[in-house]
Amino acid sequence: QVQLVESGGGSVQTGGTLRLSCAASEYPDNRYCMGWFRQHPGEEREAIARIYVNGTIIYSDSVKGRFTISQDSTKKTAYLQMDSLKPEDTAIYYCAADPIFATPWGPRCRSQFGYWGQGTTVTVSS
């Protein structure tokens, strides 16, 4: 069973920065596709950033230009650098991962993430 351990949440003022980390434990030989989601109170979880197996990165419009997702070379740890934070960024942030597997056409990941972190709270005050 893969465990995702998140860290880095906290409270900042508008315009501040935070960096979230997410480390996948267990099965040290696995590599993972990883992404970040967030959930505002009373709303559904939304995808905000994702790294695909070929290195392509996508962001939601709400964070594009302010947040940066990255992954270490082992593809076991993901980061979310959050700059120019706004009060509307206040949410619980979750990382997600799914193992990269080999196919005759190259490495692939499933479209759905199978593993999730416990969530870390980010609060941005005005």
* Helices and strands of the chain, counted as H and E runs: 0, 13
Structure tokens of 108? 């692939």
In Å, how far are 18, 31, 126 from 67, measured between CA atoms? 10, 23, 19
Please, are residues 59 and 49 in contact by the beta-carbon 8 Å criterion? yes
Name the one residue in this structure whose structure tokens are 């099965």: 27
Read out DSSP for 44-67? Answer: --EEEEEE-TTS-EEE-TTTTTTE
Q: What is the pLDDT of residues 30-64, one digit of tens each?
A: 788 999 999 998 999 999 999 998 889 999 999 99
Q: What is the pLDDT of residues 63-116, one digit of tens each?
A: 999 999 999 888 888 999 999 999 999 999 999 998 889 999 999 999 899 999
